[in-house]
Amino acid sequence: MFKENKKVMAENTAASSNRIVTDTKFKGEIVSKTDFRIDGEVEGNFQTSGKLVVGKTGIIKGTVICENADVEGRIEGTLRVNSVLTLKSTAVIEGDVTVDKLSIEPGAVFNVSCTMKGSNRPTSLNEKPTTDKAIK
């Protein structure tokens, strides 16, 4: 019986993450409270209170709000990361970025208007950021 309980807990933990796989296209609005991985294409608004991972084949066009993000793929539009944005060498980001902390590997493309923030963070798609420091 104890082994069965462990198995159920492991399945519930694995189920608390979402994924859009390669060759999948999604148009619309996504709101999630858990981590999310995108290897396909998303067009529209995306919001998660968890971590966003954009794989090498992942593409997002629209507005993105998340707690943390690791990007290997492409994001075009508005990106608001409440904590840490990590760009891998294959990442391409174009648009407007608001972030608390930023890590960029050599080779990544970062063609954006970037605002580094401290404590005034946007928490939803409707909230507008306030400017602390701007990098252009």
Residue 114 lies in a domain: no
pTM given for the model: 0.76
pLDDT at 136: 47
Answer yes or no: are the C-beta atoms of 55 and 38 closer than 8 Å.
yes
* Residues spanned by the domain of 44: 18-107
Residue 99 lies in a domain: yes
Residue 132 lies in a domain: no
pLDDT at 7: 42
Residue reference for tokens 């507008």: 128
pLDDT at 129: 53
pLDDT at 122: 53
Which residues share a beta bridge with 80? 65, 98
The structural domain count of the chain equals: 1
| 55, 30, 103, 119 alpha-carbon torsion, rounded to 10° | -170
Residue 7 lies in a domain: no
Residue 134 lies in a domain: no
Residue 119 lies in a domain: no
Average pLDDT per block of 10 residues along the chain, 136 residues long: 43 66 95 95 96 97 97 98 97 97 96 82 57 50
pLDDT at 130: 53
Residue 44 lies in a domain: yes
Residue 121 lies in a domain: no
Q: Which of 71, 100, 73 is nearest to 87 (CA)?
A: 71
